[in-house]
Amino acid sequence: MKNKRGFLLAEETLKIVLAVIAISFLIYFLTSLYFAKVNSEKLRQAEAVLKGDSEGSIKMAIYSDKNSTEFHLQSPKSWYLFGFVGDGKPNSCAGENCLCICDKVLIDTFFGIGNSRQIKECDEDGICLIVQNLKEFDKIKIKQQFISIKKIDNNIEIIE
C-alpha cells in the first residue's frame, strides 16, 4: 500500500512540475511578443521623427533654409537622441557623423565597453541619419521637450 501512494505522489509531482514549466514558457513567450510589438512601434516613431519627409522631422529641420529651428522632440518617449561624432559610430552611419534615436543601454561606461555597447544598440535597434557637419553634443532623453537645431559656421549644433 505504501508503494502505491509513493508512486502516485511522484506522478502528481511530475505533472505539477511540467505544468509550471509550460506556464513559465507561455508567460515568457507572451511578454517577448508584447515587447517586440512595443519596440517595433517605437522604431516606427523614431524613423518618422528622424527621417520623415514632413515638417515634423529632424531631417527637414536640419536641411531647411533656416539658421535656427526649435524642434518639438516628443516620441518615442524615454528613448534617446545620440550624436556620433569622431571615433566609434554605428555601421548604419557608414563612417560619417550621424544622429541616432535608440534606447539607452543600462551601463554607460564600464572600462570603455559601454560606448561600444551603445553603438551596437543603436545599430541593431535604432534609427540613424547621416549629418555631415554635426557638432558633438550630450545625449538627449526624449520626453516631450523642445530642442534647438542651429547652423553655425556650416556646422549643425543641437542643444536641449
pLDDT (tens digit per residue) in 70-122: 887 777 888 888 888 888 888 888 888 888 888 877 665 555 555 677 888 88
**Statement: the pTM of the whole predicted model exceeds 0.75:** no
Q: Read off the pLDDT of each residue in 125-152 and give the average, rounded to a whole number.
A: 84
Between 8 and 151, residue with greater pLDDT: 151
pLDDT of 60 reads 82
Q: Which residues contact 140 (CB under 8 A, 6 or more apart)?
A: 73, 80, 81, 147, 158, 160
41: three-class secondary structure by DSSP: helix
pLDDT of 27 reads 93
Q: Provide the CB-side half-sphere exposure for 27 (13 A, CA).
A: 6
